[in-house]
Structure 1
Amino acid sequence: MRSDYTWIYPSHTAKADNAKEDSAYRRLYLGIRQAILDGRLHPGEKLPASRDLAKSLGVSRNTVVTSFDLLVSEGYLETRIGAGSFVASSLPDREMTATATHEALDPTRKATRPARLSQSATRMLAYDRRFPRFRVARPFNPATPDLDAFPFDLWARLLRRSWRAPALDLTIPVDPLGMPALRDEVAKWLRQSRGVKCDADQVMIVSGAQQALDLIARALVDPGDVIATEDPGYEGIRGVLAASGATLLPIPVDGEGLQVHQLGKGAPARIVVTTPSRNYPLGTTLSLARRLALLQWADTHDAWIVEDDYDSDYRYDGPPLSSLQGLDRQNRVLYVGTFSRVLFPGIRLGYLVLPPALIPVFRGMRGFADGVPAPTAQAALAAFFAEGHFGGHVRKMRLSYGERRAHLRELIETRASDILQVLPSDGGLHLCARLLTAKDDVDVQERMVHAQLDCRALSSYYHDKSEENRGNLPQGLVLGFAGWKKNVISQSFDELINLVRRT
Structure 2
Amino acid sequence: MPRSDYSWIYPSQTNGSDKGEASTAYRRLYHGIRTAILDGRLHPGERLPASRDLAKSLGISRNTVVTSFDLLTSEGYLETRIGAGSFVARSLPDREMEAGRKDKSETSQTSKERAPRLSQSAKRMLAYQRRFPRFRVARPFSPATPDLDGFPFDLWARLLRRSWRAPDIDLTIPDDPLGLPLLRDEIAKWLRQSRGVNCHADQVMIVSGAQQALDLVARALVDPGDVIATEDPGYEGIRGVLASSGAVVHPIAVDQDGLRVDGLSETPTPARIIVATPSRNYPLGTTLSLARRLALLNWAEDHDAWIVEDDYDSDYRYDGPPLSSLQGLDTNNRVIYVGTFSRVMFPGIRLGYLVLPPALISTFRGIRGFADGVPAPTTQAALGAFFAEGHFGSHVRKMRMRYGERRAHLLDLINQSASDLLEVMPSDGGLHICARLIAGHDDIFVQEKMVEAQLDCRALSSYYHDKSEENRVSYPQGLVLGFAAWKKSDLSQSFGELIEISQA
State TM-score, norm by structure 2: 0.96
User: Pairwise mapping of residues 326-365 of structure 1 onto structure 2 (< 5 A)?
Assistant: 326-365=328-367
User: Where does residue 124 of structure 1 map in the other structure?
Assistant: 125
User: Pairwise mapping of residues 262-273 of structure 1 onto structure 2 (< 5 A)?
Assistant: 262-266=263-267, 267-273=269-275
User: Where does residue 41 of structure 2 map in the other structure?
Assistant: 40
Q: What letter corresponds to residue 336 of structure 2 in structure 1? A: L
User: Where does residue 450 of structure 1 map in the other structure?
Assistant: 452
User: Where does residue 421 of structure 1 map in the other structure?
Assistant: 423
How many Å separate the matches in 2 of 1:408 and 1:396? 19
On the 8 A contact 1:39/1:95 being kept in 2, the answer is no
How far off is 1:33 after superposition?
0.9
Q: What letter corresponds to residue 476 of structure 1 in structure 2? A: G
Q: What are the Cα deviations for residues 176-204 of structure 1, in whole angstroms up to 9, with x where unaligned?
A: 01111111111111111111000000000
User: Where does residue 76 of structure 1 map in the other structure?
Assistant: 77
Q: What are the Cα deviations for residues 284-328 of structure 1, in whole angstroms up to 9, with x where unaligned?
A: 000111111111111111110000000000101110000000010
On the 8 A contact 1:38/1:94 being kept in 2, the answer is no
User: Where does residue 238 of structure 2 map in the other structure?
Assistant: 237
How many Å separate the matches in 1 of 2:408 and 2:431? 12
Give 3-state SS (helix, strand or coil) of 1:433's partner: strand
The counterpart of 2:442, out of the listed 428, 434, 440, is: 440
How many Å separate the matches in 1 of 2:118 and 2:14? 41
Q: What letter corresponds to residue 490 of structure 1 in structure 2? A: S
How many Å separate the matches in 2 of 1:179 and 1:434? 44
Question: Please, which moves more after superposition, 263-272 or 171-180?
Answer: 263-272
User: Where does residue 387 of structure 1 map in the other structure?
Assistant: 389
| Structure 1 residues 39 and 239: CA distance shift in structure 2, 3 A | same
User: Where does residue 470 of structure 2 map in the other structure?
Assistant: 468
Give 3-state SS (helix, strand or coil) of 1:468's partner: helix
How far off is 1:164 after superposition?
0.9
Q: What letter corresponds to residue 500 of structure 1 in structure 2? A: S
Alignment coverage as a number of residue pairs:
500
User: Where does residue 380 of structure 2 map in the other structure?
Assistant: 378
User: Where does residue 64 of structure 1 map in the other structure?
Assistant: 65
On the 8 A contact 1:404/1:486 being kept in 2, the answer is yes
Give 3-state SS (helix, strand or coil) of 2:30's partner: helix
How far off is 1:162 after superposition?
1.2
How many Å separate the matches in 1 of 2:97 and 2:335? 62
State TM-score, norm by structure 1: 0.96
| Structure 1 residues 466 and 426: CA distance shift in structure 2, 3 A | same
The counterpart of 1:486, out of the listed 485, 488, 499, is: 488
How far off is 1:157 after superposition?
1.2
How many Å separate the matches in 1 of 2:152 and 2:19? 35
Question: Please, which moves more after superposition, 432-441 or 234-243?
Answer: 432-441
User: Where does residue 190 of structure 2 map in the other structure?
Assistant: 189
| Structure 1 residues 263 and 151: CA distance shift in structure 2, 3 A | same
How many Å separate the matches in 2 of 1:39 and 1:53? 20
How far off is 1:90 after superposition?
1.8
Q: What are the Cα deviations for residues 37-73 of structure 1, in whole angstroms up to 9, with x where unaligned?
A: 1111111111112222222222222222221122112
Report percent identity of matched pairs. Answer: 78
How many Å separate the matches in 1 of 2:69 and 2:411? 70
Q: Which runs of 5+ in 1 are unaligned?
A: none
Q: What letter corresponds to residue 324 of structure 1 in structure 2? A: L
How many Å separate the matches in 2 of 1:486 and 1:110? 53
Does 2:133 match 1:142?
no
How many Å separate the matches in 2 of 1:78 and 1:103? 31
On the 8 A contact 2:144/2:431 being kept in 1, the answer is yes
Does 2:291 match 1:292?
no
How far off is 1:94 after superposition?
10
How many Å separate the matches in 2 of 1:94 and 1:116? 18
Q: What letter corresponds to residue 475 of structure 2 in structure 1? A: L
How many Å separate the matches in 1 of 2:229 and 2:456? 29
Give 3-state SS (helix, strand or coil) of 2:479's partner: strand
On the 8 A contact 1:38/1:97 being kept in 2, the answer is no
CA RMSD of the aligned region, Å?
A: 1.8
User: Where does residue 498 of structure 2 map in the other structure?
Assistant: 496
On the 8 A contact 2:14/2:28 being kept in 1, the answer is no
On the 8 A contact 2:285/2:434 being kept in 1, the answer is yes
How far off is 1:99 after superposition?
6.7
How far off is 1:467 after superposition?
1.7
How many Å separate the matches in 2 of 1:482 and 1:120? 36
How many Å separate the matches in 2 of 1:483 and 1:469? 33
Give 3-state SS (helix, strand or coil) of 1:286's partner: coil
On the 8 A contact 2:76/2:89 being kept in 1, the answer is yes
How far off is 1:93 after superposition?
7.8
Q: What letter corresponds to residue 188 of structure 2 in structure 1? A: A
Does 2:311 match 1:312?
no
Q: What are the Cα deviations for residues 10-53 of structure 1, in whole angstroms up to 9, with x where unaligned?
A: 21577564422212221111111111111111111111122222
On the 8 A contact 1:39/1:97 being kept in 2, the answer is no
How many Å separate the matches in 2 of 1:364 and 1:111? 40
User: Where does residue 322 of structure 1 map in the other structure?
Assistant: 324
Give 3-state SS (helix, strand or coil) of 1:472's partner: coil
On the 8 A contact 2:143/2:481 being kept in 1, the answer is yes
Question: Please, which moves more after superposition, 172-181 or 4-13?
Answer: 4-13
How many Å separate the matches in 1 of 2:500 and 2:110? 43
Q: What letter corresponds to residue 394 of structure 1 in structure 2? A: V
How many Å separate the matches in 2 of 1:345 and 1:445? 23
How many Å separate the matches in 2 of 1:332 and 1:63? 68
How many Å separate the matches in 2 of 1:356 and 1:95? 56
Q: What letter corresponds to residue 46 of structure 2 in structure 1? A: E
On the 8 A contact 1:16/1:22 being kept in 2, the answer is no
On the 8 A contact 1:214/1:240 being kept in 2, the answer is yes
On the 8 A contact 2:37/2:88 being kept in 1, the answer is yes
Question: Please, which moves more after superposition, 63-72 or 432-441?
Answer: 63-72
